[in-house]
Amino acid sequence: MQLCMKSTIEQCSTEVAPTTEQCLIKDTRHQGKTMLMYTPRQGAPIQAALACAVLTDSGETNKLLKKHNVGNVVSCIACHDVPSIPRQAPQTSKFADAVWACSQVAITPHIHYRLVLDIVGKQLYEFASSHQLVTAVRDALIAHKDAYHNAGVLHQDLSVGNIVIHDGKGILIDWDLSNLINIKGARQVTRMGTLQFISADLIANRKTKHDVEDDLESSFYVVLWTALLCTKTHLTIPARSLLMKQVFEVAELEGVVFDTKSPFLISRSRFGSDVFVNRKPLDKLVLALAEFFAIRYKWVTQEEQNAYDQGCVCMEEAKLSATEMVLITNLWKANPAYKLKMYMEILKLHKLHDKIIEIYDSHLRLDGWPHQ
């Protein structure tokens, strides 16, 4: 078996998976089949994206996903801890309670872990077209949905580095931070996920429980991040830099995190209807996703709630013409109180995956996607 190291590629931006390395393994005993191997870096931060005691390790998670016929995921050929070399296990957690330790957060012990997968996928930013980019993220959401509903697994780290493209299809990988949803309560003691793609709610509230809507919101940031960095836009370089800073950089002062993602979702500032060059469907998709996820963060005023309640009464009691009914219905549906009610109904019925995937699918069906 031949081991071929692959250097880290950083074409689009700073590294989004800072604790995971990749290398290729060529198995000459199986017709030269090539596989992908993930190896966390030595000396990774204690809060790194590695398998830890409170989570199922990635190899066992992959087996669980395959057992429940989850689509768009890889098969794990081999996996194991690397305990033989002492320096493979970070030592920081042993000193968490020392009198001289200044950390104010819980520290989770980790161990170097390796697994061998059955495919070699292209990085997401190597997409052949913007249509393929969006399709790959949609495919990853299908895997996420199957894992959540069929296997009871929540991924918790939907990011650019964890979606690869194989034979034109998106594959969701790197389940190191995944958690079993049937385990009650917030088990994680540190914030999970890759910072640029964490939901606005998790950014602003460190102790809140990581839930399914957080992962689905992350899919929006994956599309926006990759499209802004790897496709042509009408934005000037300063304007694009400001947009990236607003959405993806997190400011923190004396332990207080300043969330800039939710204001962007609500206002969509610096993001008009014509951002990407010759990619109208992509513009429309970004705005549609931003509008939907903004519902989580927009306050409903008393006036808006009163207007919604009055609309309900009119719909039920008033004798209106067809034209009047259409007008009131449109006004009613545009009300933030109505949007919030519908959002909560979707959550209650466990249909959030279906709603988000349909937004992706409806825009993928639009005309105007370029071939490159």
CB burial class (10 A; 0-12, 13-18, 19+) of residue 347? middle
Distance, in Å, from the CA atom of 282 to the CA atom of 274, rounded to the nearest integer, reads 9
Give the pLDDT confidence of 120-133 residue by residue, as tens digits.
899 999 999 999 99
Give the pLDDT confidence of 196-210 residue by residue, as tens digits.
899 999 888 877 889
- Better-scored residue on pLDDT, 240 or 105: 240
Distance, in Å, from the CA atom of 147 to the CA atom of 173, rounded to the nearest integer, reads 12
Residue whose pair of structure tokens reads 């963060």 in the numeric block: 297
pLDDT score at 19: 54
3-state secondary structure at position 42: coil
Distance, in Å, from the CA atom of 126 to the CA atom of 222, rounded to the nearest integer, reads 14
Distance, in Å, from the CA atom of 208 to the CA atom of 201, rounded to the nearest integer, reads 8
In sequence order, the 6+-apart residues with CB closer than 8 A to the CB of 207 are 186
Enumerate the β-bridge partners of residue 108. Answer: none
Look up residue 44 and give its amino acid. A
> Model pTM?
0.80
**Which pLDDT band holds residue 150 (cuts at 50, 70, 90)?**
very high
In sequence order, the 6+-apart residues with CB closer than 8 A to the CB of 299 are none
pLDDT score at 344: 83
pLDDT score at 49: 33
pLDDT score at 86: 63
Give the pLDDT confidence of 67-115 residue by residue, as tens digits.
999 999 998 888 877 766 666 667 777 777 788 877 666 666 777 778 8
pLDDT score at 9: 32
Lowest pLDDT segment from 162-176, 216-230, 267-281 = 267-281
* pLDDT over threshold 90, residue 8: no
In sequence order, the 6+-apart residues with CB closer than 8 A to the CB of 252 are 258
Distance, in Å, from the CA atom of 360 to the CA atom of 363, rounded to the nearest integer, reads 5
pLDDT score at 1: 40
Question: Which residues in 180-204 are b (16+ Cβ under 10 Å) and which e?
Answer: eeeeeeeebeebbbbebbbbbbbbb
Q: Which domains does the chain have, with CATH numbers?
A: 2-364 (1.10.510.10)
C-alpha angle with apex 290: 284 to 293, nearest 5 degrees? Answer: 140
User: Which stretch of DSSP H or E encloses residue 33?
Assistant: strand 33-40
* pLDDT over threshold 50, residue 45: no
Q: Are 257 and 250 in contact (CB under 8 A)?
A: yes
Residue whose pair of structure tokens reads 């087996």 in the numeric block: 63
Averaged pLDDT, 152-170: 94
**Which pLDDT band holds residue 290 (cuts at 50, 70, 90)?**
very high
- Considering 81-95, 133-147, 333-347, the range whose residues carry the highest mean pLDDT is 133-147
Q: Chain-wide mean pLDDT for the chain?
A: 78
C-alpha angle with apex 56: 51 to 61, nearest 5 degrees? Answer: 105
